[in-house]
Amino acid sequence: QVQLQESGPGLVKPSETLSLTCTVSGGSVSSGSYYWSWIRQPPGKGLEWIGYIYYRGSTNYNPSVKSRVTISVDMSKNQFSLKLSSVTAADTAVYYCARDNIVLGNYYFDYWGQGTLVTVSS
């Protein structure tokens, strides 16, 4: 059974960098069959895809955050990470990591972490 677990600070000051890590168990981030995504959800609001990484290191980011975001992968630790710079209160959200599966050309998020709330406040 694949499991994903987010970790990182729950409180970040404005203008600083938000850093989160997703640890994958029961599966491998080095598998060429999946992308690994970050998705966020502001309190009481909908879902926003942030971006994904492929095991070879190629990335794809949402233009809404592209200038501030970096997603990286550490195959030795079976983890992938998110860094979001110059945060503001608008970045306060529950952050999820998810596996992006590909079946017959269809991409869908089949496994999710439990989510971690990150609050941006001084």
Partner 1 sequence: DIQMTQSPSSLSASVGDRVTITCRASQSIGTYLNWSQQKAGKAPKVLIYGASTLQSGVPSRFSGSGSGTDFTLTISSLQPEDFATYYCQQSYSTPRTFGQGTKVEIK
Supply angle C-alpha 58, 62, 67, rounded to 5.
85
Is 103 an interacting residue with respect to partner 1 (CB under 8 A)? Answer: yes
Name the residue nearer to partner 1 (CB basis): 15 or 114: 114
**Strand, coil or helix: 34:** strand
Is 90 an interacting residue with respect to partner 1 (CB under 8 A)? Answer: no
Is 110 an interacting residue with respect to partner 1 (CB under 8 A)? Answer: yes
Cα distance between residue 94 and residue 33, in whole Å: 26
Q: Which of 18, 49, 53, 81 binds partner 1 (CB under 8 A)?
A: 49
Query: Could you say which residues in the range 52-71 bind partner 1, by CB under 8 A?
Result: 60-64
Cα distance between residue 107 and residue 76, in whole Å: 26
Amino acid at 76: S
Residues that bind partner 1 in the complex, under the rule CB under 8 A: 37, 46-49, 60-64, 96, 98, 103-104, 106-110, 112-115
